[in-house]
């Protein structure tokens, strides 16, 4: 029987709110099973770029990462945010250890190639990008890996990589060894049928229903990367995938209640 492993991704809204972050990390630290945390970047990188006068460009919600922007996101994601989370977890008696994908060659990415758009130093990854053996060794040492949204290309370059995708591919890579549950924690109760109604949570979402809602324009653009990565995970043998509210993590772990479950 496989050992249980939670791969949990926390989004920017919680990172930007210290009280929410502390509440989430308190619940995360109470999880008894093996666990991995993946975090996004919040607004800090954009705020710092504004202070430095570095213009930020987004296409379809994705950041164009030129060299100056790469320096900022590497400092903020892999530096300030990652180490702040690790320090808070140490305070809560968690043996956390923070990483970018470059550390110990844990996540190797390929620079994104697009026929029309130059995304700059943006990296794309898949299940084979993850150094599963090394991450498994860390878990066996009872360490709690905390991943930032920075990877590398093994050519000396750091790359900015979507944190939702990182969580999904880590979950997929480790699913052959562990019974993996992937949790996307964000600021909604789950996927909403009506974005104006917080009680309209869709309890189960299949790929077919996702396609219908997407084509009808009923899904907020911010939820699309999460759902696409969640569906990719469940199709690639991740045991369970949920989208839940970050403040409901403990309730979900203990009572298997709330949020949206992704299904085939």
d(CA 88, CA 25): 8
Q: How confident is the model at residue 61 (pLDDT cuts 50, 70, 90)?
A: low
Q: Render 174-228 in DSSP notation, one character per residue.
A: HTTTEEEEEEEEESSSS-BSSTT-TT-B-SEE-HHHHHHHHHTT-S-TTTHHHHH
Q: How far is CA 55 from the centre of its chain?
A: 25
What is the model's pLDDT at position 129? 97
Average pLDDT over the chain, rounded to an integer: 94
Which sequence spans correspond to the domains of the chain? 3-262
What is the model's pLDDT at position 196? 85
CB-count burial class (<10 Å; 0-12, 13-18, 19+) for 140: exposed
Mean pLDDT within 70-95: 97
Q: In degrees to the nearest 10, what's the CA dihedral of 194, 195, 196, 200? A: 50
d(CA 258, CA 55): 39
**In contact, 27 and 20? CB cutoff 8 Å:** no
Q: How confident is the model at residue 163 (pLDDT cuts 50, 70, 90)?
A: very high
Q: How confident is the model at residue 60 (pLDDT cuts 50, 70, 90)?
A: low
H-type alpha helices, 18-162: 18-29, 44-51, 67-73, 82-91, 132-140
The CATH architecture one would assign to domain 3-262 is 3-Layer(aba) Sandwich (3.40)
Q: Which residue has the higher pLDDT, 124 or 217?
A: 124
Does 12 have pLDDT greater than 90? Answer: no
Mean pLDDT within 226-251: 96
Does 63 have pLDDT greater than 80? Answer: no
What is the model's pLDDT at position 194? 86
pLDDT digits 0-9 by tens, 22-56: 999 999 999 999 999 999 987 889 899 999 999 88
pLDDT digits 0-9 by tens, 181-221: 999 999 999 999 888 898 999 999 999 999 999 999 888 87
The end-to-end CA distance of the chain, in Å, is 23
């Amino acid at each position: 029987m496989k050992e249980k492993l939670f791969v949990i991704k926390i989004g920017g809204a919680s990172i930007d709110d210290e009280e929410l972050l502390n509440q989430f990390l308190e619940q995360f630290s109470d999880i008894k099973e093996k666990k991995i945390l993946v975090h996004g970047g919040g607004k800090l990188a954009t705020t710092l770029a504004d202070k430095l006068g570095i213009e930020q460009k987004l296409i379809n919600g994705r950041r164009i990462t030129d060299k100056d922007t790469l320096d900022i996101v590497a400092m903020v994601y892999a530096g300030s945010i990652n180490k702040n989370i690790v320090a808070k977890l140490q305070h809560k008696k968690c043996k956390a250890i923070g990483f970018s994908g470059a550390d110990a060659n844990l996540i190797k990415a390929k620079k994104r190639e697009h026929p029309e758009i130059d995304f700059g130093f943006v990296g794309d990854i898949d299940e084979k990008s993850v150094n599963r053996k090394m991450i498994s060794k860390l878990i066996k040492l009872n360490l709690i890996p905390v991943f930032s949204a920075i990877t590398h290309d093994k050519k000396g370059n750091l790359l900015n990589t979507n944190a939702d995708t990182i969580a999904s591919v880590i979950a997929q890579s480790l699913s052959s060894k562990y019974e993996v549950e992937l949790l996307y924690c964000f600021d909604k109760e789950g996927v909403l049928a009506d974005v104006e109604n917080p009680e309209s949570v869709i309890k189960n979402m299949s790929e077919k229903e996702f396609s219908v809602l997407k084509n009808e324009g009923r899904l907020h653009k911010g939820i699309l990367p999460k759902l696409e990565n969640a569906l990719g995970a469940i199709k690639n043998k991740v045991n369970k995938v949920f989208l839940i509210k970050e403040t409901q993590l403990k309730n979900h772990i203990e009572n298997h209640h709330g949020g949206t479950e992704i299904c085939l």
